[in-house]
Amino acid sequence: QAILAQASARTRRTSSILPRFATMGVQLSSLLNCANAIVGIGSAFRALQLLRQLPPGAVVPVKFGFWGEVMNSWDGRLAYLVYPCISLSIAFAPAITRLTSREPKVPNWVRDAQAFGTVMECMTGGALLATGALIAACTEQVPKIVNREQDALKPEWLTKAYLATLGGLYVTGYIWARRAAS
């Protein structure tokens, strides 16, 4: 009976926390969407400013390795426009997704589809923000690489930190979803 009483008390505490959890999740999701828009639009404007500094025959890096080294490049200064395009895609992705998507399918173990959706929106927002920050760093550093002022993305741990951030977000999202939605 003592074990049942402890389990019942734990269930009451958890159920009183979940509505606050959902409210905080919606607020966090909105905050992440605003941050994505600011980073994406700001990075796109900065890219358009930096485009003028590139020489007409520039070879623009578009793919970077684990250590930030250039893996692939495209010819022509207009190839640099890939960075503002990606930035704007990231900035407007949450709004476009909301306008065009249907009701998402949820896994069988999910009992609270709304809580699950909130967790997934937060994790998507976090991943978009991390990706937007990486693209912003690339946007700023690619002209320096083109002009041979540097040979790779700096600091050299940038891509590793990005990947670790994504991994942390996904693990956190899994744990949060399991607790909030099941």
Q: What rounded mean pLDDT belongs to the chain?
A: 86
The answer, yes or no, to whether the previous bond of 155 is cis (omega within 30 of 0) is yes
Instruction: Name the token pair of 91.
Output: 């900035």
- Counting residues of the chain whose pLDDT is more than 70, the rounded percentage is 86
* Longest alpha-carbon distance in the chain: 79
User: What is the tens place of the pLDDT at every residue in 85-141?
Assistant: 999 999 999 888 888 877 778 888 888 888 888 888 889 999 999 999 999 999 999
Assess whether pLDDT exceeds 70 at residue 164.
Answer: yes
Q: CB of 32 within 8 A of CB of 95?
A: no
Interatomic CA distance for residues 46 and 139, integer angstroms: 8
- As given in the structure block, the two tokens for residue 49 are 């400013």
Question: What pTM was estimated for this model as a whole?
Answer: 0.82
Residue 134 corresponds to which tokens in the numbers above? 């990486």
pLDDT bracket for residue 20 (50, 70, 90):
low
More confident position, 62 or 13: 62
Give the model confidence (pLDDT) of 69-100 as tens digits. Answer: 999 999 999 999 999 999 999 999 988 888 88
Dig out the tokens for 47 from the structure. 């890219």
| Backbone φ and ψ of 57, nearest 5° | -95, 30
